[in-house]
Homo-oligomer: A and B are copies of this chain.
Amino acid sequence: MLDVVNPQDGAISPAAARAADAVVKKIELRISSGELPDGAFLPAERELMLEYGISRTVVREAVARLASRGLLEARHRFRPIVRRPGYDAALSAVGGVVSHLLSQASGVKNLYDMRVFIEAALVRNAALHARKDDITALRQALAANEKAVPDSQSFYATDVAFHAVLYDIARNPVFPSLHKAFTSWLAPQWDRMLRSPERNRINYLAHRAIFDGIVDRDPDGAERALQSHLGAAWEYVRGTFLEPAREAPPNDG
């Protein structure tokens, strides 16, 4: 009566003893204990293999595992660098998978809608809870945005920066990272959008409307302004890469 428990490995998962796993934990510990500070080089593979009494195979697997978790930054042929992962790393870890999802038009749409949804909630939150310094930051970002209207290149930068402030106002470090993730994911599609001073001006005005809604402490107005802003932006870019329209978004169980 062998009870090889492996039913739906729901949460615990027996996770048999993998050699690499133990090494991962040890290195993880050395990182979180500060023995391997952020930015430091990981010891050479051959060194680790002697130190832990394992083969290089296992060392390499452990390193790969840690790298995929974001604790190590392992460039090809370079010594891995220790990285204390934050929300940024967490989000960028998804990058690989997301890129796959973005290859379908529905993926872009879903992600964009998600962004709109969250950002709408953010402006609403800003309208309700923004502090003086938040308003100041927003005002400055808006001014920079206006000044950049003639130059599409810098307009894009100030555009992103303006939206970034909205994510900062929530005072949850997850949001700024999320913003970076959104922009980096959607940038490829976004870049194809033709830009012009006229178009920039329209977008700037939309930003100002959002700003006004926030300073007026009018969550509904601010949200409406943002929805219309991002909705228009979508309509403007969809034609550049979207075919009729797809169904059946990928969604696994």
Contact of A18 among B18, B76, B88, B94 (CB under 8 A): B76
| A71 contacts B by Cβ under 8 Å | yes
How many Å lie between the Cα of A177 and that of B173 in the bound state?
A: 21
| A13 contacts B by Cβ under 8 Å | yes
Cβ contact within 8 Å between A87 and B250: yes
| A144 contacts B by Cβ under 8 Å | no
| A232 contacts B by Cβ under 8 Å | no
A173 and B249 contact, Cβ closer than 8 Å, known pairs A11-B187, A61-B64, A64-B64: yes
| A237 contacts B by Cβ under 8 Å | no
Name the distance in Å between A87's Cβ and chain B's nearest Cβ. 6
| A160 contacts B by Cβ under 8 Å | no
The closest CB in chain B to the CB of A113 belongs to: B172
Interface size on A, residues (CB 8 A): 62
Cβ contact within 8 Å between B101 and A97: no
Cβ contact within 8 Å between B68 and A85: no
Q: Which residues of B contact A103 (CB under 8 A)?
A: 32
* 0/1 string, A54-85, CB within 8 A of B gives 1: 00010011001100111100011100000111
Q: Which residues of B contact A100 (CB under 8 A)?
A: 28, 69-71, 85
Cβ contact within 8 Å between A90 and B97: yes
Name the distance in Å between A230's Cβ and chain B's nearest Cβ. 14
**Known interface pairs A16-B76, A16-B77; 17 further A-B residue pairs with C-beta atoms within 8 A, sorted by A's residue number:** A11-B184, A18-B76, A64-B68, A68-B68, A70-B100, A85-B250, A86-B250, A86-B251, A87-B110, A87-B250, A87-B251, A90-B94, A117-B121, A120-B121, A121-B121, A173-B250, A176-B251
10 contacts between A and B (CB under 8 A): A13-B75, A18-B76, A60-B61, A61-B64, A85-B100, A85-B101, A87-B101, A88-B251, A110-B173, A114-B172
